[in-house]
Amino acid sequence: MKNQEIVYVVSDSVGETAELMVKAVAAQFNGGEVEIKHISYVEDVKDLNNVITAAKYSNSIIAYTLVVPSLKQYLDDGAREEGVIAIDLMNPLMEAFSQKFRKEPVRQPKLIRQMDENYFRRVEAVEFAVKNDDGQDVRGLSRADIVLIGVSRTSKTPLSMYLAHKRFKVANVPLVPEITPPDELFDIPKNKCVGLVITPDKLNEIRKERLKNLGLTAQANYANLNRILEELEYAEKIMKRIGCPIINVSNKAVEETADLILAMLKKRGVIFHD
- pLDDT, tens digit (0-9, with 9 covering 90-100), for 194-231: 999 999 999 999 999 989 888 887 668 999 999 999 99
Residue 272 maps to a domain: no
Residue 73 or 3, more confident: 73
Query: How many structural domains comprise the chain?
Result: 2
Tell me, what's the pLDDT at 87? 95
CATH number, domain of 255, equals 3.40.50
Tell me, what's the pLDDT at 264? 87
Rounded average pLDDT over 33-39: 88
The verdict on 82 and 50 lying in the same domain is yes
The verdict on 152 and 82 lying in the same domain is no
11 burial level (CB within 10 Å; 0-12, 13-18, 19+): buried
Tell me, what's the pLDDT at 34? 86
Tell me, what's the pLDDT at 216? 84
Tell me, what's the pLDDT at 2? 53
Residue 2 or 53, more confident: 53
Tell me, what's the pLDDT at 1? 42
The verdict on 129 and 262 lying in the same domain is yes
Residue 242 maps to a domain: yes
Last-in-domain residue among 74, 109, 144:
109
pLDDT tens-digit readout, 88-141? 998 898 889 999 998 888 777 766 666 667 778 888 999 999 999 999 999 999
Residue 18 maps to a domain: yes
Last-in-domain residue among 109, 138, 171:
109
Last-in-domain residue among 81, 109, 137:
109
Residue 274 maps to a domain: no
The verdict on 98 and 139 lying in the same domain is no
* Alpha carbon distance 54, 158 (integer Å): 57
Residue 178 maps to a domain: yes
* Alpha carbon distance 195, 178 (integer Å): 18
The verdict on 238 and 218 lying in the same domain is yes
Residue 241 maps to a domain: yes
Tell me, what's the pLDDT at 59? 81
Tell me, what's the pLDDT at 271? 53
Bridge partners of 247? 196
Rounded average pLDDT over 238-254: 95
Residue 1 maps to a domain: no
The verdict on 83 and 125 lying in the same domain is no
**Is pLDDT at 274 greater than 60 in this prediction?**
no
Would the pTM count as exceeding 0.85?
A: no
The verdict on 141 and 172 lying in the same domain is yes
Which amino acid appears at position 39 of this protein? Answer: I
The verdict on 105 and 138 lying in the same domain is no
Tell me, what's the pLDDT at 152? 96
Contacts of 30 (CB under 8 A, 6+ apart): none
**Is pLDDT at 239 greater than 50 in this prediction?**
yes
The verdict on 254 and 129 lying in the same domain is yes
Residue 273 maps to a domain: no
Rounded average pLDDT over 152-176: 96
Domain hosting residue 51, numbered range: 6-109
* Alpha carbon distance 161, 156 (integer Å): 9
Concatenate the DSSP letters of all residues of 107-150 into one string: --TTHHHHHHHHHHHHHHHHHHHHHTGGGS-GGGGGG-SEEEEE
Tell me, what's the pLDDT at 113? 62
The verdict on 152 and 258 lying in the same domain is yes
The verdict on 100 and 130 lying in the same domain is no
The verdict on 39 and 130 lying in the same domain is no
